[in-house]
């Protein structure tokens, strides 16, 4: 189903400050985990289709692919048992792909599944050109195309969703994505 996300021109200061603090903590945790496991990042921090093809396991762990069949098949796969629990009262924000990386042209990136009734996002780098998706484990709930770095939000019926996007621009992209259940 094609759905229209809404743009909001200003980012409320308190929400933005809280989101940036949460994202900074997540970025530090991600970078520490990469250092402990010895995982390598792509050159210049940009996931490209060539790098992803040469490093499929690292790409899967990072939640990036260039293969639409992998992206859409992953939407039908629920999180593995033993993974982080998905619970009501879910809210948070992440960078996709995680900092300090970005998605090159043709690259899909996606979040983990979260119980939510709201998704908000914006592309950080201009010029932006991407397709966004909000998906349940049953498939795509809504999607749309964006050609700017404005903020967008989408209200959804209470359910477990993930957010993903494919970068179409030659400028490597990263998205700041938030979800909430109220």
**pLDDT tens per residue, range 123-134:** 999 999 999 999
Q: What is the pTM of this model?
A: 0.75
**Across 4-8, 10-14, 89-93, 101-105, which has the greatest mean pLDDT?**
101-105
**Is the model's pLDDT at 94 over the cut of 60?**
yes
What are the chain's domains? 6-79+88-180 (2.60.120.380)
Please list, residue by residue across 45-67, b when 16 or more beta carbons sit within 10 angstroms of its beta carbon and e when fewer do. Answer: ebbbbebbeebeebbeebbbbbe
Place 152 in a pLDDT band, splitting at 50, 70 and 90: very high
Please tell me the distance from the alpha carbon of residue 106 to that of residue 73, in angstroms, as a whole number.
17
- Report the distance separating Cα 113 and Cα 164, nearest Å: 10
Structural element, H or E, at residue 148: none
Token pair for 27: 């970025």
Evaluate if residue 32 carries a pLDDT over 50. Answer: no
What DSSP string describes 82-138? TS----SS--EEEEESPTT-EE-TT-EEE---EEEEEEEEEE-SSS--EEEEEEETT
The pLDDT, as a whole number, for residue 138 is 85
């Amino acid at each position: 189903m094609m759905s229209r996300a809404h743009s909001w021109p200003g980012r409320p200061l308190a929400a933005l400050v809280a989101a940036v603090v949460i994202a900074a903590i997540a970025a530090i945790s991600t970078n520490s985990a990469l250092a402990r496991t010895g995982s390598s990042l792509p050159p210049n921090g940009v996931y490209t289709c060539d790098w992803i093809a040469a490093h499929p396991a690292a790409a899967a762990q990072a939640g990036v692919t260039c293969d639409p069949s992998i992206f859409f098949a992953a939407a039908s796969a629920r999180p593995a048992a033993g993974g982080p629990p998905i619970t009501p009262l879910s809210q948070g924000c992440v960078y996709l792909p995680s900092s300090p990386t970005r998605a090159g042209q043709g690259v899909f990136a996606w979040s983990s599944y979260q119980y939510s009734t709201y998704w908000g996002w914006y592309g950080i780098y201009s010029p932006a050109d991407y397709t966004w998706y909000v998906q349940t484990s049953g498939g795509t709930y809504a999607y749309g195309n964006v050609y700017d770095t404005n903020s967008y939000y989408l209200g959804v019926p209470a359910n477990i969703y993930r957010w993903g996007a494919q970068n179409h621009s030659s400028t490597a992209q990263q998205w700041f994505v938030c979800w909430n259940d109220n």
